[in-house]
Chains A and B, each alone.
Chain A
Amino acid sequence: MTTYTICIFTENTIGLLNRITIIFTRRRINIESLTVSETERKGVSRFTIVIKHESREEVEKLVRQIRKIVEVMAVFGYLNDEIVYNEIALFKISTPLGSKSLDVETINKEYKAWVVYWGLDYVVIEKTGNDTEIFEFFGYLKKYEILEFVRSGRVAVGKTEKGLVEYLPESEWAYYL
């Protein structure tokens, strides 16, 4: 199984998420993670969808089907070594009186994670990284009582000279930046 990161640029319209995910459903491809946000160009959204698949050919077909959607401007498929990517994970750790104390220095220096919220008897730690790094950190935190664990979908940028939006069809874009 190879991990593919699919970046989709679309017009920001209602119902498009549905239109895109139907294509994965029809082809029986499971979505590992999905994030959407508006890009630096107004009205243009960027989807980052991670899937695992055995066949590159099938992924290429999937990409072509997504491209076919009227509101989709461009679709790019990447292997992991072609992108810089990260996720954000939040860990809620129980810290009642008398419990094992947190080694904040190790968390900061070794795992590059940060305590972002101190509750009365719990803390929330944020870790940014790829899934391997996040699960390594999860392994480290196991000795504490993990009350909640959540991670975001992947965000990714390509290791190319230009930004991906440069590949979009020419138009009069309104820039945020």
Chain B
Amino acid sequence: MEAIASIKPETAHAVDAAPALAPAPTYINGSHALMKALLAEGVDTIFGYPGGAIMPVYDALYDYQDQINHILVRHEQGAGHAAQGYARVTGRAGICLVTSGPGATNLVTAIADALIDSTPLVCIVGQVGKKLLGTDAFQEADVMGVTMPITKWNYQITDADEVPEILSKAFYIAQSGRPGPVLIDMTKSAQLELMTKPYVYQRCQSLVSYRPRRIPKQEQVETAASLINSAKRPYIFAGHGVQIAKAEAELIEFAEKTGIPVATTLLGQSTISTNHPLYVGWLGMHGNYGPNVMTDQADVIIAIGMRFDDRVTGDASKYIKQAKVIHIEIDPSEIDKIIRADAPVVGDAKEVLKALLPLVKPNDHTVWRNEFRKYDAIENETITVPELTSLDGKIRMAEVIDMLSKKTKGEAILVTDVGQHQMMASRYYQFRKPNSLVTSGGMGTMGFALPAAFGAQVGAPDRQVVAIIGDGCFQMTLQELGTIVQNKQPVKAIILNNNFLGMVRQWQQLFHERRYSFVELQNPDFITIARGFGMDGQTCDQRDNLSDALDTLLAHEGPFLLEVIVEKEENVFPMVPAGASVSQIRLK
């Protein structure tokens, strides 16, 4: 009673002080604040799946349908991969909106995939009400705990007032520095309750504790430049970071001025056109012969926006021991992580290359560059030509990709799944335009391609998107055919069907004495399935029909599924056996 009495005079004073007819302030709820924040960040597309704990947000979304295109996927994993495909081709964060518990946990694979491949995602996940947190409530999962190690940042919103600030932080963190996924776990109570203050949105520009270095330190650039200028056999490794920084033009200018050969990582492919005279191929386990072997000959390696993944280095203890390493990387934790850098340069690839360009001397390493070509000849003779010209037996994966490459003039966006077909696509597609390969590199997620191709098509409506998918991979996310059809996206999907989990089978053949342990698939009729979803398709199992089948696929107006029955026991070579040094690369 006493407390109430003591409050009374103040309350009375406040009422007296207010203008007599002032309208009561109307503050928006957390869900509407979220919509406004998304619009402020320029979001036009959301990949999502509604459910109980995210329903207030979906209710708000109903009012914003004309400004935000929501795409209803068939499984939350599909939302994640579609958002990845969208982010990879646009360079902007992909947005996922899912419910609590299973909705969120279904998203986990895509989040982990996005982290390791540096893909910006903003995942907004519903959560049970604040009062129910930690009570094992219906569809409650500790999503913060689950995603902590696989997000760049995550945060739980329990109060509607937090929405503008947290969303602006989320977008800033996801899209700046080394991009990555962030997750916002939003309680249902925060979605429903009204903000207690007017909604104000300020885009985040910097944070006290997070300050990615874009502009390199001049002394680091100078050290790198002097190493480059004195090198006899310099060699550029271009990674995904070059494309993230949109530094393709600077890379080419730098390579052309210095005459240095360029190899790419798997995710770095398409950074430079494959017919550029300085492009020598790609590195790694199933990369080209020359680029791998020549790592042992180089005296200076200029690694740009790549992280020396074990699929690139093979046995890291034997990797490029003879060379000085210049490591250009925006994430300082990558420096010296796998390979010790003699000259680290921390910064955005574009900024570093711009700073390096005036300091490097023009050069022409003709003799050195020609050495790569000798190995190309060996690879051509041993692998490429036989794979493309064997006219007996079943169709080979290489033929399909090679023909697709020619028919699309190397200008399509290729989205691949994971396995033999992924390596074949990388080997045989002749990329002509930057940012044209979307694949799951670091995580190696089967089931990635179909939803990612859909997302890529949404992000790049003017480009032709072709998904290359294995028969095993397809069956992991094939329900997204429904999403593609419903949204009328002209995605072209090619299943290279060998009725095997091909890459596992290859390893079993080579390293486990042909003990084919559970790798043979009894596949459904993929075309009937596609038709069931309302998508056209056809099967091709004769070499003579392949060209026509690809023409039909590419010319088809809407989405199309082409199943190509390929050689059952084909292997991908060259190959660096796991744990071996790259110089031990096998041609057969």
Chain B residues, CB < 8 A from A14: 156
The stretch that binds B, out of A56-64, A116-124, A128-136, A141-149, is A56-64
Known contacts: A61-B337, A64-B333, A68-B331. The answer to whether A73 contacts B148 by CB under 8 A is no
B148 and A64 contacting across the interface, CB-CB below 8 Å: no
Chain A residues, CB < 8 A from B335: 64
B333 and A67 contacting across the interface, CB-CB below 8 Å: yes
- The reply on A5 being an interface residue by CB < 8 A is no
B173 and A70 contacting across the interface, CB-CB below 8 Å: yes
A171, B173: Cα distance in complex, Å: 19
B148 and A15 contacting across the interface, CB-CB below 8 Å: yes
Known contacts: A60-B336, A68-B333. The answer to whether A171 contacts B208 by CB under 8 A is yes
B207 nearest in chain A by CB position: A70
Chain B residues, CB < 8 A from A19: 148-149
A98, B148: Cα distance in complex, Å: 56
- The reply on B366 being an interface residue by CB < 8 A is no
Chain B residues, CB < 8 A from A73: 208-209
B332 and A67 contacting across the interface, CB-CB below 8 Å: yes
| Binary contact track B129-164/A, C-beta < 8 Å → 1, others 0 | 000000000000000110011001110100000000
B332 and A22 contacting across the interface, CB-CB below 8 Å: no
Which residues of B (199-235) have their CB < 8 Å from a CB of A? 207-211
**Min C-beta distance of A55 to chain B, whole Å:** 12
Interface size, A (range): 20 to 34
Chain B residues, CB < 8 A from A60: 336
Known contacts: A18-B145, A19-B148, A26-B149. The answer to whether A64 contacts B332 by CB under 8 A is yes
A169 and B211 contacting across the interface, CB-CB below 8 Å: yes
**Min C-beta distance of A46 to chain B, whole Å:** 13
- The reply on A87 being an interface residue by CB < 8 A is no
Which residues of A (45-86) have their CB < 8 Å from a CB of B? 57, 60-61, 64-65, 67-68, 70-73
Known contacts: A60-B336, A61-B337, A169-B208. The answer to whether A70 contacts B153 by CB under 8 A is yes
A70 and B149 contacting across the interface, CB-CB below 8 Å: no
Chain A residues, CB < 8 A from B331: 68
Which residues of B (148-187) have their CB < 8 Å from a CB of A? 148-149, 152-154, 156, 173
Known contacts: A57-B336, A61-B337, A64-B333. The answer to whether A70 contacts B209 by CB under 8 A is yes
Chain A residues, CB < 8 A from B337: 61, 64
A72 nearest in chain B by CB position: B209
B209 and A71 contacting across the interface, CB-CB below 8 Å: yes
A15 and B144 contacting across the interface, CB-CB below 8 Å: yes
- The reply on A10 being an interface residue by CB < 8 A is yes
**Min C-beta distance of A1 to chain B, whole Å:** 22
B153 and A61 contacting across the interface, CB-CB below 8 Å: no
A57 nearest in chain B by CB position: B336
A118, B395: Cα distance in complex, Å: 88
Interface centre among B145, B156, B207, B333 (most CB of A within 10 A): B333
Chain B residues, CB < 8 A from A26: 149
**Min C-beta distance of A8 to chain B, whole Å:** 11
Chain B residues, CB < 8 A from A18: 145, 148
Chain B residues, CB < 8 A from A72: 209
One of B152, B156, B208, B333 near A11 (C-beta < 8 A): B208
**Min C-beta distance of A169 to chain B, whole Å:** 6
A73, B209: Cα distance in complex, Å: 4
A11, B154: Cα distance in complex, Å: 14
Chain B residues, CB < 8 A from A64: 332-333, 335-337
A62 nearest in chain B by CB position: B333
Chain A residues, CB < 8 A from B210: 70-71
**Min C-beta distance of A66 to chain B, whole Å:** 9
A10 nearest in chain B by CB position: B209
A22, B115: Cα distance in complex, Å: 16
**Min C-beta distance of A24 to chain B, whole Å:** 12
| Binary contact track A1-26/B, C-beta < 8 Å → 1, others 0 | 00000000011001100110010001
A22 and B152 contacting across the interface, CB-CB below 8 Å: no
Interface centre among A19, A65, A67, A68 (most CB of B within 10 A): A68
B340 nearest in chain A by CB position: A57
Which residues of B (222-274) have their CB < 8 Å from a CB of A? none
Chain A residues, CB < 8 A from B152: 70
Chain B residues, CB < 8 A from A61: 333, 336-337
Chain A residues, CB < 8 A from B332: 64, 67-68
**Min C-beta distance of B143 to chain A, whole Å:** 12
| Binary contact track B332-358/A, C-beta < 8 Å → 1, others 0 | 110111000000000000000000000
Chain A residues, CB < 8 A from B156: 14-15
A145, B337: Cα distance in complex, Å: 50
B148 and A65 contacting across the interface, CB-CB below 8 Å: no
One of A22, A65, A169 near B209 (C-beta < 8 A): A169
Chain A residues, CB < 8 A from B148: 15, 18-19, 22
**Min C-beta distance of B148 to chain A, whole Å:** 5
**Min C-beta distance of A53 to chain B, whole Å:** 16
| Binary contact track A135-177/B, C-beta < 8 Å → 1, others 0 | 0000000000000000000000000000000000101000000
**Min C-beta distance of B58 to chain A, whole Å:** 27
**Which B residues form the contact surface with A (CB < 8 A)?**
144-145, 148-149, 152-154, 156, 173, 207-211, 331-333, 335-337
Return the 3 tightest CB-CB contacts between A and B, nearest first: A64-B333, A73-B209, A70-B153
Q: Could you list 30 examples of A-B contacts with CB < 8 Å?
A: A10-B209, A11-B208, A11-B209, A14-B156, A15-B144, A15-B145, A15-B156, A18-B145, A18-B148, A19-B149, A22-B149, A57-B336, A60-B336, A64-B332, A64-B336, A64-B337, A67-B332, A68-B331, A68-B333, A70-B152, A70-B153, A70-B173, A71-B209, A71-B210, A72-B209, A73-B208, A73-B209, A169-B209, A169-B211, A171-B208
Other than A64-B333, A169-B208, give 17 A-B pairs with Cβ distance below 8 A: A10-B209, A14-B156, A15-B145, A15-B148, A18-B145, A18-B148, A26-B149, A60-B336, A61-B337, A64-B332, A64-B335, A64-B337, A67-B333, A68-B331, A68-B333, A73-B209, A169-B211
